[in-house]
């Protein structure tokens, strides 16, 4: 038996498998970023056009229904996060688009509270920060999972502090929340990107990959939006 030929054949097979995985991963990450970008564009468009209509603003925020609009995005995230295994890929995608649109409604007031110039400036700062950290998470060989629990605790702390500040209305506490939030969501961008990359290697099937890409896009979308809002609080110019 020609063992050298067998070894070369096995090596070629392993190389082909790695090449196929790399190409599949690139396509998967491109799908994730496309979903995320489309969601951001939808959110931004809905927020902007809602802010230009006093009638719509009053209909949304002029009564108790404003709490429904504010809490609805959180409900959509819970549905996707806990129900993704029971949903079809098409249904999950539809929920994602509805979620992005509803998020746009809830964020429409930023165009009233802040100047358009500062919103644009902060958006580009957010985009540059996000792209840098996501690229780091994708390319680094360092295991970022060790930071996951720390970042999660920071996220919980931010949520608790934001709820407390609804009653205190403290500008100092809001400043601290924004600073810590920038650090947490910057770290989560790198962590989630690496996690998306690693989960792809464990996925199986086109349906599973599509839903995995959608959930990856959701996590990165949330990081981007929250990072933008934290930076807007720090760097935005109010009307």
pLDDT tens, residue order, the chain (239 aa): 555 554 544 444 445 455 556 788 899 999 999 999 999 999 999 999 999 999 999 888 888 888 888 888 888 999 998 998 899 999 999 999 999 999 999 999 999 999 999 999 999 999 999 999 999 999 999 999 888 889 999 999 999 999 898 888 888 999 999 999 999 999 999 999 999 998 887 766 778 889 999 999 999 999 999 999 999 999 988 87
Q: How far is C-alpha 41 from the chain's CA centre?
A: 13
Contact, 176 vs 161, CB < 8 A?
yes
Contact, 233 vs 173, CB < 8 A?
no
CA distances from 31 to 14, 15, 217 (A): 26, 24, 8
CA-closest candidate to residue 71, choices 82, 60, 62: 60
Secondary structure class of 17 (helix, strand, coil)? helix
Contacts of 184 (CB under 8 A, 6+ apart): 151, 154, 155, 158
Number of H helices, E strands in the chain: 9, 0
- How many whole angstroms separate alpha carbon 109 and alpha carbon 97? 20
Contact, 98 vs 214, CB < 8 A?
no
- How many whole angstroms separate alpha carbon 8 and alpha carbon 33? 37
Cα Rg of the chain (Å, integer): 21
CA-closest candidate to residue 121, choices 232, 44, 32, 225: 232
Domain coverage including residue 194: 3-235
Q: Based on the structure, what is the number of domains in the chain?
A: 1
Pair of tokens at residue 155: 């996220």
Q: Report the predicted TM-score, pTM, of the whole model to 2 decimal places.
A: 0.88
Contact, 34 vs 214, CB < 8 A?
no
- How many whole angstroms separate alpha carbon 153 and alpha carbon 186? 14
């Amino acid at each position: 038996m020609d063992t050298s030929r067998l070894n070369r054949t096995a090596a070629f097979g392993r190389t082909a498998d790695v090449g196929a995985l790399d190409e599949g991963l690139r396509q998967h990450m491109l799908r994730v970023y496309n979903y995320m970008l489309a969601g951001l564009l939808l959110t931004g468009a809905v927020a902007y056009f809602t802010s230009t209509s006093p009638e719509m603003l009053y209909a949304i925020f002029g009564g108790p229904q404003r709490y429904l609009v504010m809490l609805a995005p959180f409900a959509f995230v819970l549905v996707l996060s806990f129900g993704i295994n029971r949903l079809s890929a098409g249904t999950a995608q539809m929920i994602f688009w509805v979620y992005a649109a509803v998020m746009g409604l809830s964020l429409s007031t930023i165009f009233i509270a802040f100047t358009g110039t500062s919103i644009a400036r902060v958006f580009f700062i957010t985009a540059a920060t996000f792209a840098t950290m996501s690229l780091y998470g994708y390319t680094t060989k360092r295991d970022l999972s060790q930071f996951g629990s720390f970042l999660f605790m920071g996220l919980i702390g931010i949520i608790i502090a934001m709820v407390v500040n609804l009653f205190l209305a403290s500008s100092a506490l809001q400043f601290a929340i924004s600073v810590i939030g920038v650090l947490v969501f910057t770290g989560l961008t790198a962590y989630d990107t690496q996690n998306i990359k690693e989960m792809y290697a464990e996925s199986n099937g086109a349906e599973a990959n599509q839903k995995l890409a959608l959930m990856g896009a959701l996590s990165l979308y949330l990081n981007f939006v929250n990072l933008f809002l934290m930076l807007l609080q720090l760097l935005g110019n109010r009307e």
